[in-house]
Structure 1
């Protein structure tokens, strides 16, 4: 029953019980039903003994939801992990809903899984099951994002979009990031500084992240600062709803067979939400405006155009020679087979545009809120950072890549923020074949959890881990760190492709707003250490707010 989830099995059992009721005598119905339920419960129990049978330490788990009840009671994975590591050491087993998960802080094991044995762990588990339904493939942006797709499709898409995120290309959009930073400065000044109101950091940096992506990603003004009820902000928030995402994820985990039937025969896609169609419409309009513009490649210096160039319309005639009989719509929308690995389909192009928006709002915006909050709570660090910024920039109004390279302490502040508050508290790799690794048997479909937050808060690697100390990432101290102890952007071939873009955004905006404002705690600022939630992404339990003083 490998392709059946616990929910699927329960439905099948109910069907058999109804058949027993219909076609057997009463006593036979009772006996057969009890036997069937006992067999099913035994299967559930046996499934939850997977790690114990191998001698891998693991806490007793709920038959139906594994350790998810405990994870929720701890407000997320990080507190649960802390207790498990304290009890079992560096490696233990857990059951994530219906899946076997090996959780390890063993750096050698992590390196083996993410780098040496990458062929056996080539993908992350996304919660989005594979589908062969062409109608779903052709319209689902979420299923075509580089963070979700697997195998040859992942290699092809990643290879095509990587050139858009090189340092050389991204340096050119630093002025655009600075423009968005200045919009943020004006927004803070007129709305919060003048009125001496507390600044809601997540909200303003979410707006900033979307403004940057609008300008540098699509050469568009999303009006996130001028329109308080921006539709872009509202629709992006839909993807950031952890409760809804968890419900969808649980359904696909417990009912994979039922979900595949719904997809195959009814083209039903649980993730086909209005927000996805909203962004598809925006990018489709941009694409149509540019595809017939012969000057588009020179006119638009943005990431979307760089991705459009990867579609390679200039070589469409060559493609048509080997795809005779296909319509233009099929050529644009169908996934191109690997013999055309230099091409991206239109839906793949749009999907990478969407991940820019989601990742920008959820991750970059989140890190920035923590960074400014920690600066407000550590005034000596903020003063030292401002001194470096003023020393490097002097009287210059414009910030450049050369300026950023000289701001060593700024880079350390961002890295220390990422160490303390990584946007994703954990990552994972999915095993694609049965194998034995360090004496532990893993089966196809098993997960390995990499506890990023726990590693980056381990006293063995970072003394006084709850203290905000950017000096950890300065010169000698930085060189003494094992690279495997800093995993905020992932590790190996599946690391974050937008890492440099995110760093440029954070460096530019922090430099400019710390130069302009002095941030300090307000009456409603939560005290340190912060209480965190980590069901899917890392979030503060209380809203982070600060006051700002204009230094002009």
Structure 2
């Protein structure tokens, strides 16, 4: 009681001092923001919506309307040119669509991934998410050590050995589509390829059978929740402070915990097998364990580090490939002439074979073009960013160091500057004899930090698409949207609803 009485006496004197200090801190913060405005406002850019929050309210308006933030970036690039400025609180972000600067920055290891974005990916609302995994590690030495250890799991020799699993899982999709054809029911193709992609990454990366086409799992929902939480955590500076959002924030935290607890279980099972001298595959899970040095006495941070890479590969290995397949099916359904051409190639290369070989994939040239064109218009992982540590001149504009440079493959892939009639789906842009896009097409990023799993993903996509085209006719259900849903990654909003029938010659 004596302590409470003392506080009651002193509170009137303490409160004004506390409020005064808070005001001074806030005033100092506002002065710092004004200083940044003066430092970078010579760079073209849209008017800020707010002094404090900058352009964040504009991005929030797009998200509230279920739009695609990258369409706003495209609009700004078309209006303000290949270099423009975005302000969010005390962060300054420079959108860059100049091929020479893209080459210079992304191809060099001297420009680290930016702290603003990748610190937000370390955890979601206080719950560890991607941590310091291969995608998010900012320190080059830390990243390089992980990449060197992971490389064997993505070597061409190892990938050749995965063809059996790719074929097996794709066959399960064909069985499911046979049921849809026989029952004359609508197939949600995005959902089905999501199941297959997750089955594949679980099997080939972690040695786990999920069989999602026949059973349910909490993982797809958990991944979707994490990705949705991620975009709000990155783009909305006030999201976590609004009470109406707290139930969703708790769902995001629970989803993160589910993925990491699952990873801990699978890692421990594999470590036990290694300790018992059992034969284990040279897969991603084994490499994750090696990345921690296989120490007998693991520290808490070592355990978390392994889980960082588990979550990174589990999400990245499933989400982007499935969405690419969904967009590819959608565009082929909209373009019967292209569909017929790619199907003719599949018939010539694959014929009636049920087992597609690694060499067959190299002969599916036009299918490769279709998949590349899909990623030009719909890069499922739409961008990347780097920190500019020193001053640089980009397209004649002086950029003071200390800012984030944002590179959006979605924006560059839809700019008339780089691609004639950019919204036209035209696989011939990627014909072997066509000019190569010059640092304006990078769905897997570029340089040393480019996606380690890009060959894995495109092999998987080719096997699934080849079997689908070999076996079935599919027609888009009329009336559905062809819009894009921005959920951190990009996906077809409609789900790509199709009616499926057996091909007559099958």
TM-score bracket relative to the smaller structure: 0.7 to 0.9
Partner of 1:80: 72
CA contact (8 A) 1:125 1:429 kept: no
Aligned residue runs from structure 1 range 271-420, under 5 A: 273-297=256-280, 300=281, 302-308=283-289, 328-329=296-297, 332-333=298-299, 345=302, 347-420=304-377
CA distance, structure 1, for counterparts of residue 255 and residue 13 of structure 2: 39
Partner of 2:218: 231
CA contact (8 A) 1:224 1:233 kept: no
CA distance, structure 2, for counterparts of residue 430 and residue 51 of structure 1: 15
1:546 is paired with a residue whose SS is: strand
Partner of 1:440: 398
- What is the count of residue pairs matched by the alignment? 474
- Is residue 452 of structure 2 the alignment partner of residue 497 of structure 1? yes
Structure 1 residue 452, shift from structure 2 partner = 1.0
**Are the structure 2 counterparts of residues 312 and 49 from structure 1 closer, same or farther at C-alpha, using a change threshold of 3 Å?**
closer
1:410 is paired with a residue whose SS is: helix
Q: Which runs of 5+ in 1 are unaligned?
A: 1-18, 256-268, 317-327, 336-344
Partner of 1:108: 100
CA contact (8 A) 1:67 1:96 kept: yes
**Are the structure 2 counterparts of residues 279 and 65 from structure 1 closer, same or farther at C-alpha, using a change threshold of 3 Å?**
farther
Structure 1 residue 254, shift from structure 2 partner = 9.9
Partner of 2:13: 22
CA deviations 1:285-328 (Å, max 9, x no partner) are: 4323422242414xx36432354456665xx7xxxxxxxxxxx3
- Range with greater deviation from structure 2 (285-294 or 93-102): 285-294
2:204 to 213, 216, 223: 216
CA contact (8 A) 1:93 1:101 kept: yes
**Are the structure 2 counterparts of residues 30 and 170 from structure 1 closer, same or farther at C-alpha, using a change threshold of 3 Å?**
closer
Structure 1 residue 490, shift from structure 2 partner = 0.2
CA distance, structure 2, for counterparts of residue 412 and residue 498 of structure 1: 19
CA deviations 1:142-171 (Å, max 9, x no partner) are: 213200112121111111101211222111
CA distance, structure 2, for counterparts of residue 492 and residue 465 of structure 1: 25
CA distance, structure 2, for counterparts of residue 532 and residue 148 of structure 1: 26
Partner of 2:86: 94
**Are the structure 2 counterparts of residues 287 and 254 from structure 1 closer, same or farther at C-alpha, using a change threshold of 3 Å?**
same
Partner of 2:111: 120
- Range with greater deviation from structure 2 (374-383 or 37-46): 37-46
Structure 1 residue 124, shift from structure 2 partner = 6.9
CA deviations 1:366-400 (Å, max 9, x no partner) are: 11100111111111111111111111112322111
- Is residue 150 of structure 2 the alignment partner of residue 194 of structure 1? no
Structure 1 residue 404, shift from structure 2 partner = 0.5
**Are the structure 2 counterparts of residues 46 and 220 from structure 1 closer, same or farther at C-alpha, using a change threshold of 3 Å?**
same
**Are the structure 2 counterparts of residues 84 and 231 from structure 1 closer, same or farther at C-alpha, using a change threshold of 3 Å?**
closer
Partner of 2:498: 546
Partner of 1:264: none
CA distance, structure 1, for counterparts of residue 190 and residue 121 of structure 2: 34
- Is residue 152 of structure 2 the alignment partner of residue 163 of structure 1? yes
Aligned residue runs from structure 1 range 167-186, under 5 A: 167-186=156-175
Partner of 1:5: none
CA contact (8 A) 1:141 1:348 kept: no
CA distance, structure 1, for counterparts of residue 390 and residue 68 of structure 2: 30
CA distance, structure 1, for counterparts of residue 112 and residue 102 of structure 2: 11
CA contact (8 A) 1:141 1:280 kept: no
**Are the structure 2 counterparts of residues 457 and 185 from structure 1 closer, same or farther at C-alpha, using a change threshold of 3 Å?**
same
CA contact (8 A) 2:260 2:311 kept: no
CA distance, structure 2, for counterparts of residue 69 and residue 412 of structure 1: 38
TM-score of the aligned structures, taking structure 1 as reference length: 0.77
Structure 1 residue 248, shift from structure 2 partner = 3.6
Partner of 1:63: 51
2:95 is paired with a residue whose SS is: strand
Structure 1 residue 355, shift from structure 2 partner = 1.9
Structure 1 residue 359, shift from structure 2 partner = 1.1
**Are the structure 2 counterparts of residues 140 and 357 from structure 1 closer, same or farther at C-alpha, using a change threshold of 3 Å?**
same
CA contact (8 A) 2:169 2:196 kept: yes
CA contact (8 A) 2:163 2:358 kept: yes
**Are the structure 2 counterparts of residues 404 and 124 from structure 1 closer, same or farther at C-alpha, using a change threshold of 3 Å?**
farther
CA distance, structure 1, for counterparts of residue 208 and residue 347 of structure 2: 31
CA contact (8 A) 2:485 2:492 kept: yes
CA contact (8 A) 1:366 1:423 kept: yes
1:532 to 468, 473, 484: 484
1:428 is paired with a residue whose SS is: strand
Output the aligned Cα RMSD.
3.3
CA distance, structure 1, for counterparts of residue 15 and residue 356 of structure 2: 81
Q: Which runs of 5+ in 2 are unaligned?
A: 1-9, 241-251
1:549 is paired with a residue whose SS is: strand
1:475 is paired with a residue whose SS is: coil
